[in-house]
Amino acid sequence: MPVSASSFAEAKSKRFWPVIVLVLILFAPTAFGVNAVVSAQTATPVKSIKFGSFTPPPTNTKTPLPSPTAYVSIPPLSTTPEPDPKKIYFFSQRDPRWRTYNPYTVGQLGPCGCGETSTAMILTSVLDNSSNPDQGYYNPPRMWDYYENLYPGRCGTGIEWHKNTLESFAFRASINAYDRNNPQGSNNVIKNYLNNGYLVIIYYKRPATYGHYVVLSDIIGSTIKVYDPYYLPGASMPVTIESIAIIQSFVAAKK
């Protein structure tokens, strides 16, 4: 029986429908998942960053040194004590495994990385539950990468950078001035933070030289005990803060 043109077209259309459906099934995830993929990429957690995985940013000819700014006055905290914070996991900025680390432009972790290493100690102590934090998500080289991405071309860090970084990891953080005319009063404020479960990074100057960051352990009377990242690996911590330290400010942070 002869086949009309319309019947032929209808049969041809039916024959190609399965092919069209198959193509849609194969490519629909790509075609309709673009926004989801882009969103997932922009929301990539920092902890997925590997050593040196940042694209080296443009060279910044200005090399910022520690410069505490943006001091925030806060009311006294509650005097109700909370459990002691987790013991600090100590990192040394001069650890031979990474003291020369810097795939970028300025400085090296060993001489320049006290701030990044102090932040690494806090993040590791609170967030890293792995069996080997030295190879974890928050060790000093990875924090160096993180800071380099945000503040390229530097040897030294501003105290506000540490506040901003801790806040990016969902910590509550504030910058506080240290009153050198009333050190006991400032020590009481810091002690109050510790009693309420906060971790503290102290920034201090040395006479006629650069500043330094350390992580606070405790204040006993007038003695300030710290985890000092400039000590070599294996050093017994905590230690008493340097006698020449002229404390400028501190960051208090709590998850």
- Residue 241 makes CB contacts below 8 A (sequence gap 6+) with 202, 204, 214, 224, 225, 226, 228, 247
- Widest Cα–Cα separation across the chain: 109
State the pTM of this model: 0.69
Q: What is the per-residue pLDDT for 219?
A: 93
Are 75 and 123 contacting, i.e. CB atoms less than 8 angstroms apart? no
In the chain the domains, ranked by start, together with CATH numbers, are 5-42 (no CATH), 51-254 (3.90.70.10)
How far is Cα 110 from Cα 65, in angstroms, rounded to an integer? 15
Provide the β-strand partners of residue 239.
Answer: 226
The helix/strand/coil state of 215 is strand
Output the CA–CA distances (angstroms, integers) from residue 169 to 21, 38, 187, 202, 244, in the order listed.
45, 22, 27, 19, 33
- Helix residue spans in 91-236 (DSSP H): 109-112, 114-127, 140-150, 159-168, 183-195
Torsion, Cα of 71, 74, 77, 83 (10° steps): -30
Per-residue confidence in pLDDT tens, the chain, 255 aa: 443 444 444 444 455 455 444 444 444 443 333 333 223 333 334 444 444 443 333 333 333 333 333 223 333 333 333 434 458 999 999 999 999 998 776 789 999 999 999 999 999 999 998 899 999 999 999 999 999 888 888 888 999 999 999 999 999 999 999 999 999 999 999 999 999 999 999 999 998 888 999 999 999 988 999 999 999 999 999 999 999 999 999 999 999
